[in-house]
Structure 1
Amino acid sequence: MRRFRDPALALGLFLAVAPIAAVLQYRALAPLALAALAGAALASTRPRQPGLVISLALALMAWGMVSALWAVEPGRSLFEGARMAALVLLAAAAGQALESGPPRRLSPWLLGGLLLGAILAIADQQSGHWLRAMVRGRREWDVVMGFGLKPAATVLALLLPLALALPIGRAWKALALVLALAGIFGMPAQSAKIGVVVGLAAFVLVWLGGRLAARGIALAAALGVLLTPLLLGAILARNPDVSAMQGSAAHRVMIWDFTLARIAERPILGWGMEAARAIPGGEAQIAAEALQRFGLGSQREWFEAVRAQRLPLHTHNGALQIWLELGLVGALLATAVVLALGWQATSPGSAGAFACAIAIASLSYGVWQGWWLCLLAMLALVSRQLTREPPPR
């Protein structure tokens, strides 16, 4: 079989299509990313010894599989650990192929995909979401469809710092900034809005402070993974009044409060990989007494209307989910992975994308969601490949 000779082309095609697919149907992101990773990996020659990031990530997934020995759902823990390990190995093969293959300009693909995705998101919003409803075969918009906009905003938020660092004209950068922010802030995706602000702040900080600022961001992110239960626990132990928060944000506070209590029960080994969805008591609705502790008595009707659970599927905070499921051992491994990734993100674009991803992971999505990890794997490869991009002619 003739070997695929341009692995970077797979990344370019993903960058061109992913923002558009995220708006129309975000579930397509995982198969698109896997196809791109596989396409790049086909160009790999003899496998080399994995680097530090890959080795640490594999160790984390191996610990997840080991956690099946004491997990509340052993089969799920074993399967998820193996599935994530396979993704890491595929990303490693793709990364090796990219490093040994010829450099390719990704700027047109990244800029074009970001602009088209933002334009499509704005058009969908202005049309009353007619476009997304049509893709799903529906005539009317419903609230469930709104959740599908969050990944679209996330994709735009993660790619924007990389686009602003491209060797392109200022007019193109200004257009990308305006359209992407209009698309993001027009969608009901609070975590992406916070993430893009954090990402842009990191971009400016590293642009001004250089490598030292980038390393500071990496260290802060790693310490955040390790110390989140301690810091957040100290805050919530004071029973702060969070009544000013909207319902979904206040619900996160209640989820974190319940999660911290379960972490304290198994702090070293955790409850098993992907056990957040099966933690005893997690499916129960939040009691009125718990709401009163945080000044949420006036929002009781909202919590009852949405049947808000104490722990619905995941913790909405990546660090807490790692601690809950994999304990101190898993948290130390995850801290090492985050530090190793952040240590390599020394340019303004890569540091901005890294900080954006950390912020979003701290507020939304399950840490093992397939499309989310596929997107992060592609982001890491794209960030690294951009450093090899030949100058424009």
Structure 2
Amino acid sequence: MSTRLWPLAVALAAAPFVVVLQNRTLAPITLLAFAGVILAGLRAGWRPGPPPRLVWPALALLGWATISGLWAPELGRALDSVLRLGLTLALAVLAADALRGAPATPLIPRAAALGLGLGIAAALFDDLSGHALRAFVRRLNEAPVTLAFGLKNAASVIALLLPLAVFAPTLPRGVRVALGLSGAVVALLLPGESAKLAVLVGLAVGLAAGLAPRATRMALAGVAAVLILGLPWMLGATLPRDASALPNSAAHRLLIWDFAAERIAERPVLGWGMDSSRAIPGGTGRPDAAMRDAFGLTSPAAAQWFAQAQLLPLHPHNLALQVWLELGLIGAALMALLLAMVARACRSPAACGAFAAGLVIAMLSYGAWQYWWVSGLLLAAVTAGALPARAQES
């Protein structure tokens, strides 16, 4: 068995459980896995080959992000983000290339299944025990109410990685069915609406890819490109104008998106600069009465809740909006091209399902450059490429 598979296998076995305890550990776990794969490959005689076509739009996007730092509010933050992303991407590309020559074994699917099983069990125990597990590792005698929100991140990682095991044909069918059912149930129980939707979409797309692989890939590429390029301009017609029936957190998300769309329209071509979301003018302001009225948020309870809410806290919680906001039309076009190429490169139901789950979460939750989350996406991508050949089309 090739030793270069083991660093990735260890990361997959550990990541879901460790993320339940602390989500930021996903970045170092991923980096160590990639570095381990590369070193093991070099010792086995592997040498880097020509970069895949996917690298070029990614490099162009990073290059444009670097240039946009010139007009970003914080040049240092912009360059730091680009360097982090560039380093992680380089390691991911090299690790994927090193794994390409490794002999096919069931090690990777088994490691993914083990890690997901541990992560699902830990997340369920923590939720049912009033977050005793996560309070224990933080040396807290009593779990604060806010500790519950951390499980959203664990649910997102489970949703992202779940298709990689559920649609791995080298695993016994019973294991795959059990993982799919338990992962879906736990995601539905845990906080975080985006993870709930991502689990369902990821599994559905994986099933569709098993029946019609080429059509599924093309559909994913088209949907991703349309969302990235068109979402800011579709919001006006699609955002519900009566959010009174929604939870305050969901209604807040609508206000954030509405505010971000307005700022995008002010600088649609160049954007406000890389990683500028947290410093957009007016972003730290509160929704005024007119904005709340426009969304039907007129109750005294809503007024009290939104008095503490910012119009743009850190980022728009939407990949398309953040790319447009910070990098403008040029960045959006490059991101759309990159995602479309990634979707078309998904050669297995597992890869298609993971791509769909990641896209759902990216459009509803995290910052586009949030380091631990980007690390998780790259971990999923490298894993999809390392699945045994029987899981892929010829």
Report the TM range for the smaller structure's normalisation.
over 0.9
The equivalent residue for 1:215 is: 218
The equivalent residue for 2:243 is: 242
Distance 1:205 1:102, change over 3 A: closer
More deviation, 20-29/314-323: 20-29
Q: Is the counterpart of residue 35 in structure 1 residue 32 in structure 2?
A: yes
What's the offset of the Cα at 1:208? 2.5
Separation (CA, whole Å) in 1 of partners of 2:30 and 2:51:
21
- SS state at 2:253 partner: helix
- Find 2:149's aligned residue among 147, 150, 173: 147
The equivalent residue for 1:76 is: 77
- Find 2:124's aligned residue among 95, 109, 122: 122
- Give % identity: 44
What's the offset of the Cα at 1:143? 2.7
Deviations 1:133-155 (A, max 9, x none): 00111111113212211111011
Separation (CA, whole Å) in 2 of partners of 1:112 and 1:158:
15
What's the offset of the Cα at 1:198? 1.2
The equivalent residue for 2:345 is: 344
Separation (CA, whole Å) in 2 of partners of 1:93 and 1:209:
30
Instruction: Work out whether residues 270 and 324 of structure 1, in 8 Å CA contact, stay in contact via their aligned partners in 2.
Output: yes
- SS state at 2:203 partner: helix
Q: Is the counterpart of residue 8 in structure 1 residue 12 in structure 2?
A: no
The equivalent residue for 2:184 is: 181
Deviations 1:180-221 (A, max 9, x none): 123212211111001111112212222232321222122111
Separation (CA, whole Å) in 1 of partners of 2:49 and 2:174:
42
Structure 1 runs of 4+ off > 6 angstroms?
none
Distance 1:378 1:118, change over 3 A: same
Paired letter, 2:80: F
What's the offset of the Cα at 1:347? 2.1
Q: How does 1:35-74 map to 2 (within 5 A)?
A: 35-42=32-39, 43-44=41-42, 45-74=46-75
Paired letter, 1:113: G
Q: How does 1:1-393 map to 2 (within 5 A)?
A: 6-42=3-39, 43-44=41-42, 45-105=46-106, 106-167=108-169, 168-236=171-239, 240-298=241-299, 299-304=302-307, 307-388=308-389
- SS state at 2:120 partner: helix
Report the TM-score, using the length of structure 2 for normalisation: 0.93
- SS state at 1:179 partner: helix
Separation (CA, whole Å) in 2 of partners of 1:212 and 1:174:
24
What's the offset of the Cα at 1:389? 6.6
Deviations 1:119-141 (A, max 9, x none): 11111122111111001111111
Paired letter, 2:213: G
Separation (CA, whole Å) in 2 of partners of 1:325 and 1:206:
34
Q: CA RMSD in A?
A: 1.8
Structure 1: gaps (5+ residues): none
Paired letter, 1:73: E
- SS state at 1:47 partner: coil
Instruction: Work out whether residues 68 and 273 of structure 1, in 8 Å CA contact, stay in contact via their aligned partners in 2.
Output: yes
Separation (CA, whole Å) in 2 of partners of 1:379 and 1:389:
18
Instruction: Work out whether residues 99 and 386 of structure 2, in 8 Å CA contact, stay in contact via their aligned partners in 1.
Output: yes
Separation (CA, whole Å) in 1 of partners of 2:189 and 2:233:
35
Paired letter, 1:163: A
Instruction: Work out whether residues 109 and 168 of structure 2, in 8 Å CA contact, stay in contact via their aligned partners in 1.
Output: yes
Instruction: Work out whether residues 258 and 310 of structure 1, in 8 Å CA contact, stay in contact via their aligned partners in 2.
Output: yes
Instruction: Work out whether residues 7 and 94 of structure 1, in 8 Å CA contact, stay in contact via their aligned partners in 2.
Output: no
- SS state at 1:362 partner: helix
